[in-house]
């Protein structure tokens, strides 16, 4: 028990950081480079379409957004341009993702909902923002925190009745799922929407495309891919939030010559 408490306080000590721009305090105690190397190995196993003609476009837009985001990368999280890897994933599900370390996947099924450069910039702005905010590492840290909390509860109730023990474990488990993990996911998505909007505008794309894209995307049927699950901001909340951030984003746009 004592060891666990010591471990927890040590983790809290090293773990406090702040997200760029929003300043939200974060609890991260895993090494970003370790999460990046695990991600790279997952990414290498995915089925990609290296010959797809649209890849050059995705890469160009992605790198412009990375360059625009770098100004706010105070912690030096974003890899150098040469280290980013963009791939079109052979998957009809409309989805996209970014992994720590700069691996970006854009599903082939996403293009039909993102016909213009501005639409692709909406998606890539959101994904690059997950990377700069270290959401991947934060999520891993949260899961590890939950596992540690469960061990503490287990240790603390070792001599209690089975009933007390299971109640404790349920409290930790349920509390973790509804009290910590889900709201964090929602805040990650909102943060990625907010920063993504600023970065796409700064890279020269029209931020008005963002609320329009999400509104359109919310109307497609079928199962939602993981990046767009129901734990995420509801569609109307998302569109309203984006509209609210538009003036801030427009102010980031490069001045016309």
Residues forming contacts to Zn ion in the complex (CB under 5 A) are 189, 192
Q: Which is nearer to Zn ion, 11 or 131 (CB)?
A: 131
Sort 24 into a burial class: Cβ within 10 Å, 0-12 / 13-18 / 19+: middle
Q: Which of 85, 127, 138, 191 is catalytic?
A: 127
78: enclosing H helix or E strand: none
Smallest gap from residue 145 Cβ to Zn ion (A): 21
Q: Which is nearer to Zn ion, 114 or 192 (CB)?
A: 192
Nearest to 197 by CA among 212, 182, 216, 184: 212
Smallest gap from residue 231 Cβ to Zn ion (A): 11
Smallest gap from residue 130 Cβ to Zn ion (A): 6
Rounded Cα–Cα distance for residues 132 and 185 (Å): 16
Number of other CB atoms surrounding residue 20 within 10 Å: 19
Catalytic residue check, 127: yes
> Do the bridges between strand 103-107 and strand 85-89 make them parallel or antiparallel, or are there none, so unpaired?
parallel
Which residue's C-beta sits nearest to Zn ion? 192
Query: Tokens 């079928």 — which residue?
Result: 222
Q: Which is nearer to Zn ion, 11 or 242 (CB)?
A: 242
Contact predicate 45/52, CB 8 Å: no
Smallest gap from residue 48 Cβ to Zn ion (A): 20
Q: Which is nearer to Zn ion, 140 or 192 (CB)?
A: 192
Residues classed as catalytic? 127
């Amino acid at each position: 028990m004592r060891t666990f408490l010591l471990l927890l306080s040590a983790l809290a000590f090293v773990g406090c950081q702040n997200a760029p721009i929003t300043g939200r305090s974060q609890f991260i105690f895993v090494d970003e480079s370790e999460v990046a190397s695990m991600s790279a190995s997952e990414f290498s196993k995915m089925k990609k379409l290296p010959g797809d003609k649209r890849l050059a476009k995705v890469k160009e837009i992605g790198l412009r957004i990375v360059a625009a985001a770098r100004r706010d990368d105070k912690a030096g999280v974003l890899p150098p341009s040469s280290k980013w890897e963009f791939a079109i994933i052979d998957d009809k599900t409309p989805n996209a993702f970014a992994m720590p370390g700069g691996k970006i996947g854009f599903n082939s099924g996403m293009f039909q909902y993102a016909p213009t450069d501005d639409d692709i910039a909406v998606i890539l702005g959101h994904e690059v923002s997950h990377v700069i905010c270290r959401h991947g590492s934060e999520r891993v840290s949260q899961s590890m925190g939950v596992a540690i909390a469960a061990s503490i509860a287990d240790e603390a109730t070792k001599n209690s009745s089975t009933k007390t023990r299971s109640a404790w474990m349920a409290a930790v488990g349920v509390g973790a799922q509804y009290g910590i993990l889900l709201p964090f996911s929602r805040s990650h998505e909102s943060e990625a929407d907010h920063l993504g909007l600023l970065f796409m505008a700064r890279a020269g794309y029209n931020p008005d495309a963002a609320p329009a894209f999400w509104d359109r995307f919310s109307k497609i049927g079928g199962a939602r891919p993981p990046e767009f699950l129901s734990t995420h901001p509801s569609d109307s909340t998302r569109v309203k939030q984006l509209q609210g951030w538009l003036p801030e984003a427009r102010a980031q746009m490069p001045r016309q010559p």
